[in-house]
């Protein structure tokens, strides 16, 4: 049996990425100093699409937005 259906949909994914990186934090003369740098990023991915029976087609945009340093 073949079921014909047609619908549009929207969706939005959101996530939080927390990172702790060992990196150059400054210089003492010409010698670099190292330390841990923490940061957080908010990611969102809104999408739209259409479904035709078993065929699904959609478009998604992913953006990364920095929400500042944590410490």
Instruction: Please tell me the predicted confidence (pLDDT) of residue 70.
Output: 42
C-alpha triplet 44, 49, 52: angle, nearest 5° = 155
Does residue 69 register a pLDDT over 50? Answer: no
Give the model confidence (pLDDT) of 7-63 as tens digits.
888 988 888 878 888 888 888 888 888 888 887 877 778 889 998 877 888 888 876
Identify the DSSP state of 71: -
* Alpha-carbon distance values, 16 to 39, 43, 49 (Å): 11, 6, 24
This prediction's pTM: 0.42
Does residue 68 register a pLDDT over 70? Answer: no
């Amino acid at each position: 049996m073949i079921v014909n259906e047609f619908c549009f949909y929207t969706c939005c994914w959101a996530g939080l990425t927390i990172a702790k990186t060992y990196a150059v934090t400054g210089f003492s003369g010409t010698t670099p100093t190292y330390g841990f740098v923490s940061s957080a990023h908010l990611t969102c991915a809104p999408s739209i699409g259409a479904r035709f029976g078993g065929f699904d087609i959609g478009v998604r945009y992913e953006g990364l937005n920095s929400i500042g340093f944590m410490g």
